[in-house]
Structure 1
Amino acid sequence: MHEYINILFRTIVSFFALLVIARILGKQVLSNMTFHDFVTGITLGAIAANLAFNPKIESPYLFLSLIVFTATSFAISVVSIRNRKVRKWITGSPTVLIENGKILEQNMKHVKYSLDSLIQSLREKDIFDLEEVEYAILENNGKLSVLKKPPYRNLTQKDMHIKGQGAVDFPIELIMDGQLIENNLNNNDVSRRWLEAELEKREKNIADVFYAVKSTNGKLMLDFYEDGLKRPIDKES
C-alpha cells in the first residue's frame, strides 16, 4: 500500500513540476517544435516519467536532473534569442523546396524531404497542381509555407482597386535582431545606403530594428524594438 501512495504522490508532483517548467520555458515549447524544442520535450518527458513511476531512482536525483536540464534549456533559449548565429545552429534555418515554380531536388535531398511529403503538404493547403506554386519553403518546425503565383492567389479588397500587377518578387529579410543580413543584401542587389536612408527618414538606425523585410511589392516593412504600444495584446499579467 505504501508503494501505491508513493507512486500517486510522485505522479502528482511530476505533473505539477512539468507544468511549472513549461511556464518557465515559455509558449515556444507548446508550439510546433524545432530541434531544440523536440529534444527538450522528449528529455523532460523521460525524466518526469521516471519521477512518477520509477521508485528505484530517488526523487532528489530526478528533481536535480529536472532543475539542471530546465536551466540548460532556458539558458539556450535566451542565448538563441539574442544571437542569430546560435539560433540558426540550434533551430536550423528554413529550406526553399520550390523556387519560381521549380522543385529544388538537391534541397529536398539535403533535408530528407520526399516528393510524396511535398505533394501531401501542398494538398493540405488545397493545392493540387504544382503549376500554381511560386515558392514553397520548409520551415524550422517542419511545416510548409507556400506562395502561389499571382494568377492563383485569392482576391482581396485591395486587389479590387488595382488595374494591373507586374511580377512579384520574393520577400527579402534585411535585418533580424538588430543585425544586418549582409548576404541577403548582396544576393538581391539591395543597397545598404538605400536601407540606411529609409531608416534615417524614421529617425532610426539598424540597431533599433528588430525585423526588417523588403516585401513582395518592394516596400520596406519595419518592426522596431520600441513599438510604442502602451497595452500590447497577449501580454500576460
Structure 2
Amino acid sequence: MLHDSLPDLIRVLIVSTLAYIGLVLILRKAGKRSLAKLNAFDLVVTVALGSILATTQLSREVSLLEGLLAIALLALLQWTVSRFSIVSTRFRKLVRSEPRLLLENGVFREDAMRAERLTRSEIEASIRSAGIGRIEDVAAVIIESDGSLSVIPERGDELTVLRSVKR
C-alpha cells in the first residue's frame, strides 16, 4: 500500500509546509550566527533542528505548535549560549574549541597536527588553495574553531592575529 489514508497525506503536506516556513522564520530571527560555518555546538543544534522538523512533519504524536515551540527553544538556547560565550571566557572555552597553530614560519607543528588529526598533505592542500607555492612563504596555518584552515602568507610583519591562537 502506498499510503494509509488521504487525510494523513494532506496533514504531512500542510504540516511540512508550515513547519518549514516556521523554521526559516525562526532561523532568520535567530541571526547569521545560526547559519555560519559550524562548530561542534552548532552542528548539534543543526542536527537537532532537522530531527525536530522531520518528527513534526511525519509524526501524528507531535503537533505543529509543539514542533515550532521546540525549534524556537533550540534557537533561543543557541542564542543564549552564544551570548554567554561573548561575556564569559570560561564558558566560551567550555562550548567552543580554540583555534590552533599547525604551521609557523614554514615549520610544521607535529604535536598540534597529531592532536587535531591532520596530515601534512591536508595542510599543504590548504596552502595551495591559498595560492602559495612554497611552504617557506607561509607565516602560519591555523585550524579555526569551525574546522576550516586559515593560511597567512609571510610578509615580514608581526602576526598580531595569532595572540588568541593555541600553540
Global fold match (TM > 0.5): yes
Matched, 1:103 2:108: yes
> Residue 160 of structure 2 aligns with which residue?
171
1:39 to partner: Cα distance: 1.4
Uncovered stretches (5+) of structure 2, i.e. residues with no partner: 1-5
Whether 1:5 aligns to 2:10 is yes
Q: Which has the larger radius of gyration?
A: 1
Could you tell me whether the CA contact under 8 Å between 2:55 and 2:62 is conserved in 1? no
Q: Tell me how far 1:95 sits from its aligned partner.
A: 0.5
Instruction: Indicate the SS of the match to 1:131.
Output: helix
Answering whether residue 46 of structure 2 is matched by residue 57 of structure 1, we say no
Task: Using the TM superposition, give the Cα deviation of residue 65 of structure 1 relative to its aligned residue in structure 2, in angstroms.
Answer: 2.8
Picking from 5, 8, 18, the partner of 2:23 is 18
Greater helix proportion: 2
Structure-2 separation of matches of 1:105 and 1:21: 43
Q: Which amino acid in structure 2 is aligned with residue 73 of structure 1?
A: Q
Greater relative CO (CA pairs within 8 A, separation 6+): 2
Match of 1:44 among 19, 41, 49: 49
Q: 1:91: Cα distance to partner?
A: 1.9
Tell me the secondary structure at the aligned position of residue 113 of structure 1.
coil
> Which residue in the other structure is 1:144 paired with?
149
Size of the aligned set, in residue pairs, is: 159
Q: TM-score, normalised by structure 2?
A: 0.83
Give the corresponding residue for 1:85.
90
SS in 2 for 1:96: strand
8 Å contact kept, 2:126–2:151 = no
Equivalent residue of 2:123, what SS? helix
- Alpha carbons 2:101, 2:112 under 8 Å: kept: yes
CA RMSD in angstroms comes to 2.2
- TM-aligned CA deviation for residue 64 of structure 1: 4.0
Measure the CA separation in 1 of the matches of 2:69 and 2:12: 19
Aligned to 1:122: 127
Distance across 2 between alignment mates of 1:132 and 1:84? 33
**Amino acid aligned to 1:135:** A
Q: CA deviation at 1:142?
A: 1.8
Q: Are 1:70 and 2:75 counterparts?
A: yes
Residue 89 of structure 1 deviates from its aligned partner by 2.4
Matched residues, percent identical?
25
Please say if residues 97 and 145 of structure 2, whose CA atoms lie closer than 8 Å, have aligned partners that are also in contact: yes
Q: Which amino acid is 2:62 matched to?
A: E
Q: CA–CA distance in 1 between the matches of 2:86 and 2:26?
A: 19
Higher strand share: 1
1:151-170 to 2 correspondence within 5 Å? 167-170=156-159
Secondary structure of 1:120's partner? helix
| 1:173 CA displacement | 6.9
Per the TM alignment, residue 61 of structure 1 is displaced from its structure 2 partner at its CA by 4.2
Residues 191-231 of structure 1: per-residue CA shift (max 9 Å, x gap): xxxxxxxxxxxxxxxxxxxxxxxxxxxxxxxxxxxxxxxxx
DSSP 3-state at the match of 1:134? strand
